[in-house]
C-alpha cells in the first residue's frame, strides 16, 4: 500500500509524487513516481490531479499507465477555462505480475496541472495470487 502527494512535472511523459504518506513494502519510488509490483495479484490504484486555478488549459489529461502503456484516462475539457477549477481523477483495478510498473503520466497540457498536496497517487494490494 502506498499514498504519495505533491505533484512534480518532469516532462509530458513523466510526473511524480514525491511526498510519501504511506509506503508499506517500499514498492513506490518517490524519485521516479513509479510503483513496481513485488507481489503478483489484484491491485487498486487511484490518482487525482487538480488544475492550476487561473490557467487557460482548455483541456488536459493524464493516464494511469502499466509498463509504459496507457491504461486509464483522466480527462477534462473546460467550457470556461479562465474561471474553472477542476481535478482529473481515476480509480481502477488491475491484475499485476511481479515486476510490472505503474505510474501516472503521458499528460496532455501538463503545465496547467496543479502542484500541491491535493494531488495524489495511491495503490493497494487487494488480493495476492495464491
> What pLDDT tens digit does each residue of the chain (130 aa) get?
999 998 888 777 788 999 999 999 999 999 999 999 999 999 999 999 887 655 555 677 899 999 999 999 998 776 655 556 677 889 999 999 999 999 999 988 776 676 666 789 999 999 999 8
Confidence at residue 7, expressed as pLDDT on a 0 to 100 scale:
82
The answer to whether 19 and 7 have CB atoms below 8 angstroms apart is no
Instruction: Give the predicted TM-score (pTM) of the model.
Output: 0.89
Confidence at residue 80, expressed as pLDDT on a 0 to 100 scale:
59
Confidence at residue 49, expressed as pLDDT on a 0 to 100 scale:
86
Show me where the domains of the chain are located.
Answer: 2-128
Name the nearest CA neighbour of 70 among 86, 50, 51, 90.
Answer: 90
The answer to whether 115 and 60 have CB atoms below 8 angstroms apart is no
Alpha helices in 32-103 (DSSP H): none
One CATH from 3.40.190.10, 3.30.1330.10, 3.20.20.30, 2.60.120.40 for 2-128: 2.60.120.40
Amino acid at each position: 500500500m502506498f499514498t504519495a502527494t505533491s505533484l512534480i512535472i518532469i516532462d509530458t511523459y513523466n510526473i511524480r509524487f514525491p511526498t510519501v504518506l504511506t509506503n508499506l513494502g517500499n514498492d513506490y519510488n518517490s524519485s521516479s513516481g513509479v510503483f513496481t509490483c513485488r507481489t503478483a495479484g489484484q491491485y487498486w490504484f487511484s490518482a487525482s490531479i487538480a488544475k492550476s486555478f487561473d490557467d487557460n488549459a482548455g483541456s488536459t489529461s493524464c493516464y494511469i499507465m502499466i509498463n509504459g502503456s496507457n491504461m486509464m484516462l483522466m480527462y477534462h475539457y473546460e467550457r470556461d477555462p479562465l474561471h474553472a477549477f477542476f481535478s482529473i481523477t481515476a480509480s481502477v483495478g488491475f491484475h499485476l505480475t511481479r515486476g510490472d510498473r505503474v505510474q501516472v503520466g503521458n499528460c496532455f497540457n501538463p503545465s496547467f496541472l496543479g502542484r500541491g498536496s491535493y494531488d495524489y497517487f495511491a495503490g493497494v494490494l487487494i488480493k495476492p495470487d495464491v
